[in-house]
Chains A and B, each alone.
Chain A
Amino acid sequence: MKKIFIIIPAYNEEKNISTVIKHTLKYSKNIIVVDDGSEDKTFERAKAMKVMAVKHVANLGKGAALKTGAELALREHADILVFIDADKQHEPKEIPFFLERLYEADVIFGSRRRTKKMPLRFRFGNSILTHLTKFLFGVKLHDTQSGYRAMTSEAYKKIRWRSMDYSVETEMIANVGKKRLKYDEIFIKTIYDDKHKGTTPFHGLKIALDMLWWRLRG
């Protein structure tokens, strides 16, 4: 029986965290919430749900929170890591699809369809980054910026990232390409509750420059 750990990075998500944990618990009892230095009661709410919760004393960024969660999962001898956002953007009921596909690959990426539901700036930025990812790292995905992903712990050890911020999603892909890991993608449903959240055009530009740097770094 494989040990599945679900990692939820959270920053100021006191309104959503309990619901996300509640729905996620149906798929694994091993849930790690990493509170990335929230100023609200995110950490207390997560603790109250009786799951593993750790807190960064300062806000570092999503990449750092994911890494803390993954490192903790490794300590707990995890076999599979699933990453899901804390803002109810992802549907926990799709976790079994990730796990199913993970038998044939090292990493499974959740991809959002670029429909009209996706805010225009996301659609545009995502399209550019997706093409750049394919060109620079040979990884063909429909969406490079979704945080809904699953991987084996062995794969995680090979693609440990250094990005502390939103670049993490792209660095994961870059490392998968460079390490020639087996990957696959599944289409996921996404709910956009807060259109102002997520990657801004400035972040997008930074990610594009980071990608060039990762390629040059080899």
Chain B
Amino acid sequence: MILQIFAVIFLLILIYFSFMFYKRKEYSIKDFIFWLLVWIIAIFLVSFPETVYGVMESLQIQRTVDFFVIAGFMFLTVVIFFLYTKIRKLEYKIEIVVRKIALKK
């Protein structure tokens, strides 16, 4: 129960940050809605863990905490993969821009 309360508070803080980024115009409305949905789904799952019992059973995971840790790691892996790809693309674009400026002068 304490762990659940802690997780919900943590997720509420993340909602606040997402809202703040949106207000500062660092996030578009699309970004904000995406992250808001992610955090709301996480709050729902943490508050009502019985909703994942079916999935846990089919995956033969005994403890709810284990399920959330595994799910968390998978989510982080996906995020890191996308971030990596995005950074590489940005690096490549920056390289082209910097070279164009250098050769234009």
Contact = CB atoms under 8 A, between A and B. Distances in A.
Interface of A: 34, 37, 54-58, 60, 64, 67-68, 71-72, 75, 162, 164
B91 A54 contact: no
B3 interface: no
Interface string B61-105: 000000000000000000000000000000110110011011101
Contacts of A58: 94, 98
B103 A56 contact: no
B92 to A, nearest CB: 8
B98 A56 contact: yes
Contact of B98 (A60, A71, A75): A60
Given A57-B101, A58-B94, A75-B103, 8 more contacts: A37-B98, A54-B103, A57-B98, A57-B102, A64-B98, A67-B99, A68-B102, A68-B103
26 contacts: A34-B102, A37-B98, A54-B102, A54-B103, A54-B105, A55-B102, A55-B105, A56-B98, A56-B99, A57-B98, A57-B101, A58-B94, A58-B98, A60-B94, A60-B95, A60-B98, A64-B98, A64-B99, A67-B99, A68-B102, A68-B103, A71-B99, A72-B103, A75-B103, A164-B91, A164-B95
Interface of B: 91-92, 94-95, 98-99, 101-103, 105
Contacts of A34: 102
Chain A CB count within 10 A is highest, among B98, B102, B105, for B102
A67 B98 CA distance: 12
Nearest to A61: B95
B91 A56 contact: no
A162 B91 CA distance: 11
B104 to A, nearest CB: 9
Contacts of B99: 56, 64, 67-68, 71
A9 B95 CA distance: 15
Contacts of B105: 54-55
A164 B99 CA distance: 12
B98 to A, nearest CB: 5
Nearest to B104: A54
A67 B101 CA distance: 14
A54 B98 CA distance: 11
The 6 closest A-B pairs by CB, nearest first: A54-B102, A56-B98, A68-B99, A64-B95, A56-B102, A57-B101
A68 B101 CA distance: 11
Nearest to A75: B103
A44 B2 CA distance: 63
A151 to B, nearest CB: 19
